[in-house]
């Protein structure tokens, strides 16, 4: 029997890609497509919206019913929308696959609590390439140690509302953990004016927002005489959407617990 997939934020940039990906993935079936209660697209056919032809699933705002009707709900929305979704996931045992970024510490805690009752995947980037890059970053940080300056540069489209990207922050966490540092203490978010010399123990972040860039990330390890750069460039949102399909199929093995894409990919 096919796994029933609901999509939260179905009319968004990622939502439409996710509908396409469900349609193209064996063993998965679209069971619900949710968007905001005041959306002009309520009632429209999700497949037609995503350009894959009629699927017989209308865009709805009824998240309670959607979670009752689905095994998994894939959420690429906004932090406050994810928070409103979680009680329905717990009540209806509908496993959330969360791609949304920009959660604060209290919101992350709420996700942890929900994961005690229902299996959850939380990943700021669902592409295989970024998750491989996270593994490479751990190795690079351990080898290069405290003898390099570490800077993280990310670029995204002009519509993105959070900064730095969730991926850049995760990259920072991976590097900081490998070096025994606390990212909260050592992160520097942009520089301006008379900043003084760089402190080697810091991890710097720079954010670019322009045009239609899907998502570029570079982590630079710069020493005297050489530097290593690990770069990932996404050129299609379908890479994230197919990652979410893989995560959804994988999550069906679990009843509860908090997982990420490293778990899904066995990295
Ligand atoms: N983990 C990963 O691999 C990736 C994560 N992301 C993250 O996914 C999130 C979404 O990105 P993107 O698709 O570009 O953003 P969009 O703004 O295009 O999509 C979000 C969608 O959610 C809708 N929405 C707003 N409120 C609600 C609500 N209450 N219930 C249901 N839907 C609602 C929005 O509607 P409206 O526009 O009308 O407000 C919109 O259609 C971001 O946090 C982004 O960082 C993005 C790509 C990859
Ligand atoms: O908003 C986006 O578009 C993206 N967001 C994610 C993030 O914040 O890391 C992942 C990807 O880079 C695209």
What pLDDT is attached to residue 199?
96
> What pTM did the predictor assign?
0.98
- Please, what is the average pLDDT of the chain? 98
pLDDT in tens, 32-80: 999 999 999 999 999 999 999 999 999 999 999 999 999 999 999 999 9
pLDDT in tens, 107-148: 999 999 999 999 999 999 999 999 999 999 999 999 998 999
pLDDT in tens, 6-21: 999 999 999 999 999 9
Number of the ligand closest to the Cα of 81: 1
Please report which confidence band the pLDDT of residue 265 belongs to, taking 50, 70 and 90 as the band edges. very high
Write down the ipTM of this complex: 0.99
pLDDT in tens, 105-118: 999 999 999 999 99
Q: Decide: 12 in ligand 1 pocket, CB within 6 A.
A: yes
Q: Whose CA is nearest to atom 1 of ligand 2?
A: 160
Please indicate whether the domains covering 3-122+237-265 and 128-234 agree at the CATH topology level.
Answer: no
List the chain domain ranges.
Answer: 3-122+237-265, 128-234
Q: Is there a binding annotation on residue 13?
A: yes
Q: Which of 156, 217, 232, 254 is catalytic?
A: 156
Atom of ligand 2 nearest to the CA of 162: 8
SS (H, E, C) 198-259: CCCCCEEEEEEECCCCCEEEEEEEECCCCEEEEEEEECCCHHHHHHHHHHHHHHCCCCCEEE
Classify domain 128-234 at the CATH class level.
alpha beta
Q: Is there a binding annotation on residue 125?
A: yes
What pLDDT is attached to residue 23?
98
Q: Is there a binding annotation on residue 167?
A: yes
Measured distance CA(86)–CA(73) in Å, rounded: 10
Please report which confidence band the pLDDT of residue 187 belongs to, taking 50, 70 and 90 as the band edges. very high
What pLDDT is attached to residue 75?
98
Please report which confidence band the pLDDT of residue 195 belongs to, taking 50, 70 and 90 as the band edges. very high
Atom of ligand 2 nearest to the CA of 102: 8
What pLDDT is attached to residue 209?
98
Q: Whose CA is nearest to atom 4 of ligand 2?
A: 215
Name the CATH superfamily, with its identifier, for domain 3-122+237-265. NAD(P)-binding Rossmann-like Domain (3.40.50.720)
From the list 208, 246, 211, 215, the residue with the least C-alpha distance to 232 is: 215
Residue from 78, 79, 124, 158 to probe ligand 2 pocket by mutation (most atoms less than 8 Å from CB) = 124
Which residue pairs from 160-164 have beta carbons closer than 8 angstroms and sit at least 24 positions apart in sequence?
160/209, 161/78, 161/102, 162/101, 162/102, 163/207, 163/209, 164/189, 164/205, 164/207
What pLDDT is attached to residue 210?
98
Q: How many CB atoms lie within 10 A of CB 188?
A: 14
Q: Is 160 a catalytic residue?
A: yes
Q: Quick one: angle between helices 166-178 and 128-144, nearest 10? A: 30
Q: Is 4 a catalytic residue?
A: no
């Amino acid at each position: 029997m096919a796994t029933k997939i609901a999509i939260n934020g179905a009319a968004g940039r990622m939502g439409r890609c996710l509908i396409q990906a469900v349609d193209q993935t064996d063993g998965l079936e679209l069971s619900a497509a949710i968007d905001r209660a005041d959306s002009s697209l309520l009632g429209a056919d999700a497949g037609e919206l995503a350009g894959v032809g009629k699927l017989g699933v209308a865009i709805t705002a009824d998240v309670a019913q959607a979670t009752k009707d689905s095994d998994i709900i894939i959420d690429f929305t906004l932090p406050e929308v994810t928070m409103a979704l979680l009680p329905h996931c717990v009540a209806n045992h509908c496993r959330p696959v969360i791609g949304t970024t920009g959660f604060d510490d209290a919101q992350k805690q709420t996700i942890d609590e929900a994961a005690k009752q229902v299996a959850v995947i939380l990943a700021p980037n669902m592409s295989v390439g970024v998750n491989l890059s996270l593994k490479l970053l751990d190795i690079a940080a351990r080898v290069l140690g405290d003898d390099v300056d570490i800077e993280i540069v990310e670029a995204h489209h002009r519509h993105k509302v959070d900064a730095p990207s969730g991926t850049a922050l995760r990259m920072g966490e991976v590097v900081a953990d490998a070096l025994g540092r606390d990212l909260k203490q050592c992160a520097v978010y942009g520089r301006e004016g008379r900043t003084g010399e760089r402190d080697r123990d810091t991890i710097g972040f720079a954010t670019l927002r322009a045009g239609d860039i899907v998502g570029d990330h570079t982590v630079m390890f710069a020493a005297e005489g050489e530097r290593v750069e690990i770069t990932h460039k996404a050129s299609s949102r379908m890479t994230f959407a197919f990652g979410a399909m893989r995560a959804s199929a994988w999550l069906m093995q679990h009843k509860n617990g908090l997982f990420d894409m490293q778990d899904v990919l066995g990295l």
